[in-house]
Structure 1
Amino acid sequence: MKKLLLIALAAVGGYFVYRQVQADRAEQDLWTEATDPVPAGAGAR
Protein backbone atom coordinates (compact mmCIF):
# COMPACT_ATOMS: atom_id res chain seq x y z
CA MET A 1 0.00 0.00 0.00
CA LYS A 2 2.84 2.42 0.80
CA LYS A 3 4.47 1.76 -2.58
CA LEU A 4 1.23 2.63 -4.36
CA LEU A 5 0.95 5.87 -2.39
CA LEU A 6 4.55 6.78 -3.21
CA ILE A 7 3.97 6.08 -6.90
CA ALA A 8 0.84 8.23 -6.86
CA LEU A 9 2.66 11.08 -5.11
CA ALA A 10 5.53 10.85 -7.59
CA ALA A 11 3.06 10.97 -10.50
CA VAL A 12 1.30 14.02 -9.07
CA GLY A 13 4.64 15.73 -8.44
CA GLY A 14 5.78 14.95 -11.97
CA TYR A 15 2.55 16.37 -13.36
CA PHE A 16 3.03 19.66 -11.50
CA VAL A 17 6.65 19.90 -12.64
CA TYR A 18 5.53 19.28 -16.23
CA ARG A 19 2.88 22.01 -15.99
CA GLN A 20 5.39 24.48 -14.55
CA VAL A 21 7.88 23.75 -17.34
CA GLN A 22 5.14 24.30 -19.93
CA ALA A 23 4.11 27.58 -18.30
CA ASP A 24 7.73 28.78 -18.21
CA ARG A 25 8.18 27.85 -21.86
CA ALA A 26 5.02 29.72 -22.85
CA GLU A 27 6.13 32.81 -20.94
CA GLN A 28 9.56 32.65 -22.59
CA ASP A 29 7.89 32.42 -26.01
CA LEU A 30 5.85 35.53 -25.22
CA TRP A 31 8.96 37.44 -24.17
CA THR A 32 10.81 36.30 -27.27
CA GLU A 33 7.95 37.42 -29.50
CA ALA A 34 7.61 40.75 -27.70
CA THR A 35 11.32 41.58 -27.79
CA ASP A 36 12.24 40.31 -31.26
CA PRO A 37 13.39 43.12 -33.52
CA VAL A 38 11.06 43.93 -36.40
CA PRO A 39 12.49 42.55 -39.65
CA ALA A 40 13.65 45.16 -42.20
CA GLY A 41 10.83 46.22 -44.50
CA ALA A 42 8.11 44.54 -42.44
CA GLY A 43 6.00 47.68 -42.14
CA ALA A 44 7.15 49.62 -45.18
CA ARG A 45 5.09 49.71 -48.34
Structure 2
Amino acid sequence: QDKISDFEMKLMDIDSEHLGIPEAEYHAIVRMPSSEFSRICKDLSTIGDT
Protein backbone atom coordinates (compact mmCIF):
# COMPACT_ATOMS: atom_id res chain seq x y z
CA GLN A 1 0.00 0.00 0.00
CA ASP A 2 1.49 3.33 -1.09
CA LYS A 3 1.34 6.19 1.38
CA ILE A 4 1.62 9.83 0.43
CA SER A 5 2.13 12.71 2.86
CA ASP A 6 1.40 16.18 1.54
CA PHE A 7 1.63 19.21 3.84
CA GLU A 8 0.50 22.74 3.13
CA MET A 9 0.48 25.51 5.71
CA LYS A 10 -1.39 28.77 5.33
CA LEU A 11 -0.17 31.52 7.63
CA MET A 12 -2.57 33.57 9.71
CA ASP A 13 -2.03 36.62 11.90
CA ILE A 14 -3.69 35.60 15.19
CA ASP A 15 -3.74 37.59 18.41
CA SER A 16 -2.43 34.90 20.74
CA GLU A 17 -3.85 36.57 23.86
CA HIS A 18 -7.41 36.01 22.64
CA LEU A 19 -6.87 32.55 21.24
CA GLY A 20 -9.01 30.05 23.12
CA ILE A 21 -9.10 26.36 22.36
CA PRO A 22 -12.41 24.81 23.42
CA GLU A 23 -12.63 21.40 25.03
CA ALA A 24 -13.40 18.71 22.47
CA GLU A 25 -14.29 15.06 22.60
CA TYR A 26 -13.27 12.90 19.66
CA HIS A 27 -15.10 9.73 18.69
CA ALA A 28 -12.35 8.00 16.77
CA ILE A 29 -9.88 5.21 17.37
CA VAL A 30 -6.82 5.03 15.15
CA ARG A 31 -4.69 1.91 15.00
CA MET A 32 -1.37 2.02 13.17
CA PRO A 33 2.13 0.67 13.56
CA SER A 34 4.31 2.71 15.92
CA SER A 35 6.90 3.14 13.16
CA GLU A 36 4.32 4.84 10.93
CA PHE A 37 3.15 7.08 13.80
CA SER A 38 6.77 8.02 14.52
CA ARG A 39 7.36 8.92 10.87
CA ILE A 40 4.23 11.09 10.77
CA CYS A 41 5.25 12.92 13.96
CA LYS A 42 8.75 13.47 12.58
CA ASP A 43 7.37 14.80 9.29
CA LEU A 44 4.94 17.15 11.04
CA SER A 45 7.58 18.40 13.48
CA THR A 46 9.33 20.16 10.60
CA ILE A 47 6.37 22.55 10.41
CA GLY A 48 7.18 23.79 13.91
CA ASP A 49 10.81 24.32 12.96
CA THR A 50 10.02 26.82 10.19
Bin of the TM-score, shorter chain as denominator length: 0.3 to 0.5
Instruction: Decide which structure has greater helix share.
Output: 1
Which has the greater radius of gyration?
Answer: 1
TM normalised by structure 2 equals 0.33
